Amino acid sequence: MTQKRQTAGQTVCAGFGLNVFSESQLKTLHYSALRVLKNTGIKVESREAADIFKSAGADVEEFDTYSIVRLPSFLVEDSLSSAPGTTIYYGREPEKDYVMEPGRVGFSTFGECVQVIDPETREVRSSTHRDLKDATRLCDYLDEINVVERAVGSLDKESGLQAVYNYAAMVENTGKHVLLGFNSRENARQIIKIAQIASGGEENFRKRPIVTAFVCPLSPLTLAQTCCDVTIECAGQGTGIAIIPMSLSGATATATLAGQLVIHTAEVLSTIVLAQLVRKGTPCTFASCSTIMDMRFAGPAVGAPEYGMIGAGLAAIARHYDLPCWVGGGHSDSKLPDAQAAYEATLTATVSALGGANIVYGAGCLDQGLTFDFAKLVMDAEMIRNIHKTLEGIIISEETLGLDVIHEVGPGGQFLATRHTVDHMRSLSRSNLFDRRNREGWNTASQGRDLTQRAYKEAAKIVKTHTPAPLPGKAPDKIRSLLQTWEAELKKA
């Protein structure tokens, strides 16, 4: 028997990743953001928020409809120290919890698309409450989607009601954690009430909050009234927030990516300070929807390589702060689920994932974030599996080097029948929707249908047959009653 070799000083398991910035560069970005917060300040459109900042020691310059708030560095550093480094996105089903911790990479959909490609007619139309239910059910089925962002909006509901109806549709159709924009303080209260009902009561929700609110600072350097209101309400009620600036390089941020990262970071940090001042320990996710503006067309480019670069850069900054991170990747500027969509989605999703983001979101998204497509979501799920395989890297160990089996097989032999191959063949990637057959096998299995056609068929099958875990007890009736009451109150007002 061949003597087994022992190795010293050798990493047994290491995955692929990107070293985006040096430690020195990360400190430079951090100190630059602190200088912006201290010297330039943040425009705050909420008097309540400005008072909270002022009572904590910030310099507040008041104007008629807003304040300029300048944050001392100690206040930012103190807030960062109380923001949890690890956040659990609790699922309605505990087995679907997702831990936002260093080294863990997951995926989700983009939100909130206002159009869908109708899966039957293939025509573009406005999104509906029914579309959101179907998209959420599809996300619930797909293991590759770890948490669920509302893919589309319920545009057939009145604007003031949409966020609440959005959440009601989602919590009914997935056991995974849900994230969405609450859009107002009153909506936040109603959504949290629904989440409490879906959790089986206030006490259960307090222990396991199953929803997270997106709050959006306005670039450059502005905390709008809604952003402040929702942040204050959620922090007060023990609900986490994901802070997601949407700056455009060359428009609402510098044309240089480094300057854009500084602005983005300052916006996130200012919101973290507000949340921590309301309630220390409020879970805060460092999020991003920032990209470049295409100067030729004066619009956002979510399929551009810079989108993934910005995501990877912000993921590195979030890790530097020991904060969970949610960044973009997997979007496309294409109007159809075509080759452009595949190229763009794969590039940006892979770069953001290699950058170490805890969640990369953008699956199912087309048309600069305006249009959702069921087929693209199913195709993206297969892409995500391949990205996860890439992230594993190449394990170097005595077992994987396989010198014994190489010696056993020898020159001119074959490895197919060896025990080593049997033991390791399931570690090799497999295709499901993507086709690896020869042409004859493909023709037989698919009748010549291309990937997109097969994806639409698969998506329709899942939506029709998948049944999410039911809400507890009389929760559906209670939620319907709450929605009816809330709708009636808004119509009276």
- Residue position matching structure tokens 């309540």: 48
pTM here? 0.94
pLDDT at 490: 82
Mean pLDDT of 345-364: 97
Mean pLDDT of 158-186: 96
Residues 204, 210: Cα–Cα separation, whole Å: 10
Mean pLDDT of 173-195: 97
What's the pLDDT tens digit per position in 358-411?
999 999 999 999 999 999 999 999 999 999 999 999 999 999 999 999 999 999
Residues 431, 436: Cα–Cα separation, whole Å: 7
Mean pLDDT of 195-204: 97
pLDDT at 10: 35
Output the average pLDDT for the chain: 94
Mean pLDDT of 426-437: 91
Fold (CATH) for 80-392? TIM Barrel (3.20.20)
Mean pLDDT of 220-249: 97
Q: Which residues contact 352 (CB under 8 A, 6 or more apart)?
A: 308, 311, 312, 315, 327, 328, 329, 360
Q: Band of the pLDDT at 486, cuts 50, 70, 90?
A: confident
Of residues 298 and 326, the one with the higher pLDDT is 326
Q: Band of the pLDDT at 51, cuts 50, 70, 90?
A: very high
Q: What is the 3-state secondary structure (H, E, C) of 49-85?
A: HHHHHHHCCCEEEECCCCEEEECCHHHHHHHHHHCCC
pLDDT at 15: 79
Does residue 481 surpass a pLDDT of 80? yes
Cβ–Cβ contacts within 10 Å for residue 47, how many? 14
Of residues 432 and 27, the one with the higher pLDDT is 27
Does residue 142 surpass a pLDDT of 80? yes
Residues 249, 262: Cα–Cα separation, whole Å: 12
Does residue 14 surpass a pLDDT of 60? no
Q: What string of DSSP letters covers 359-409?
A: EEEEETEEGGGTEE-HHHHHHHHHHHHHHHHHHH----SHHHH-HHHHHHH
Does residue 65 surpass a pLDDT of 90? yes
Residues 350, 337: Cα–Cα separation, whole Å: 18
Classify 9 as helix, strand or coil. Answer: coil
Mean pLDDT of 222-227: 98
Peptide bond into 72 cis (omega under 30): no
Classify 36 as helix, strand or coil. Answer: helix
Distance of CA 479 to the CA centre of its chain: 26
What's the pLDDT tens digit per position in 246-289?
999 999 999 999 999 999 999 999 999 999 999 999 999 999 99
Does residue 332 surpass a pLDDT of 70? yes
Does residue 345 surpass a pLDDT of 80? yes
Residues 176, 188: Cα–Cα separation, whole Å: 19
Contact criterion met (CB below 8 Å) for 344 and 354: no
Does residue 4 surpass a pLDDT of 80? no
Residues 358, 315: Cα–Cα separation, whole Å: 8
What's the pLDDT tens digit per position in 27-48?
999 999 999 999 999 999 999 9
Contact criterion met (CB below 8 Å) for 194 and 167: yes
Q: Which residues contact 21 (CB under 8 A, 6 or more apart)?
A: 29, 313, 316, 317
Residues 289, 123: Cα–Cα separation, whole Å: 27
Mean pLDDT of 130-159: 96
Does residue 11 surpass a pLDDT of 90? no
| Domain locations along the chain | 80-392, 398-427
